[in-house]
């Protein structure tokens, strides 16, 4: 754990420190029931301030990774107590374990959420929602000129569909979908050299939403997921 930290990083130093410790827990270096090293030892090892370390502990505690016990210290909690839906925790798991297995499990969540979101979007989308979905679709079509931008547009397309559902409880789940897409979209793009095959299926979703056809939108979303799943996992 001696590599330098990006003190100006987007996520902030406490999150980076939490990630370093969280990955050690996920990898089994620190096991459930283990007591974390003393604060003074961690400060020396990580070379950060006491306030930064305590903020990192707060992040780990809020995500169920550790708990403080009087006269015992800070202990590692079992995996069933982890907040596995937190995007930060998803990223730690992707970087620490089997990313293919994680991507497959996240895909199963997408099957449960995205057809529903597409159905609701077809019922509730406003003109500005449809415009944002169409913009993302158009940018995806420019993938040969700018693959990185196209991959981000693919993620944005799915997030705009969820936003167009106008369901306050879907939006928090959307952060999990985004984390899943950030793993699966680059993987699919790299494996198949682009998204030509999926463009028509994305367009089917957009068209059904624009035409206010809920069942068609849900079917189109399911077809896209099934096709992507089969290409990646079967």
Distance CA 156, CA 152 (A): 6
CATH of the structural domain 13-81, one choice from 1.10.10.10, 3.30.420.40, 3.30.1360.40, 3.50.50.60: 1.10.10.10
Where do the structural domains in the chain lie, given as residue ranges? 13-81, 98-233
Tell me, rounded to whole angstroms, the distance of Cα 96 from its chain centroid.
15
Mean pLDDT (10-residue bins), the chain, 234 residues: 40 91 95 94 94 96 94 92 90 82 87 97 98 96 82 94 96 86 79 76 97 98 93 79
Q: Is the dihedral of CA 43, 95, 10, 25 positive or negative?
A: negative
**Class of 98-233 in CATH:** mainly alpha
- Reading phi first (left if > 0) and then psi (alpha if -120 to 50, else beta), residue 107 is in alpha
**Predicted pLDDT at 7:** 38
Nearest to 111 by CA among 172, 153, 158: 158
Q: For residue 6, what pLDDT is reported?
A: 44
């Amino acid at each position: 754990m001696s590599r330098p930290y990006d003190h100006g990083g987007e996520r902030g130093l406490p999150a980076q420190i939490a990630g370093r410790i969280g990955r050690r827990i996920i990898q089994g270096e620190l096991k459930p029931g283990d007591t974390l090293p003393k604060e003074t030892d961690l400060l020396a090892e990580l070379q950060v301030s006491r306030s930064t370390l305590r903020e990192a502990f707060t992040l780990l505690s809020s995500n169920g990774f550790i708990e403080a016990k009087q006269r015992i210290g800070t202990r590692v909690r079992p995996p069933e107590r982890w907040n596995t839906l937190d995007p930060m925790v998803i990223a730690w798991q992707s970087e620490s374990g089997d990313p293919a297995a994680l991507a497959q499990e996240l895909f199963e969540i997408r099957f449960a959420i995205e057809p529903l979101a597409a159905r609701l979007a077809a019922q509730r989308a406003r003109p500005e929602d449809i415009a944002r979905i169409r913009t993302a679709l158009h940018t995806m079509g420019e993938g040969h000129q700018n693959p990185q931008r196209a991959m981000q547009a693919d993620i944005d397309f799915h997030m705009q569909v969820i936003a167009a559902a106008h369901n306050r409880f879907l939006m928090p789940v959307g952060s999990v979908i985004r984390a899943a897409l950030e793993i699966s979209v680059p993987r699919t793009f790299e494996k198949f050299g682009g998204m030509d095959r999926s463009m028509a299926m994305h367009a089917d979703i957009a068209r059904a939403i624009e035409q206010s056809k809920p069942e068609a939108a849900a079917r189109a979303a399911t077809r896209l997921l099934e096709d992507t799943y089969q290409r990646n996992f079967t």
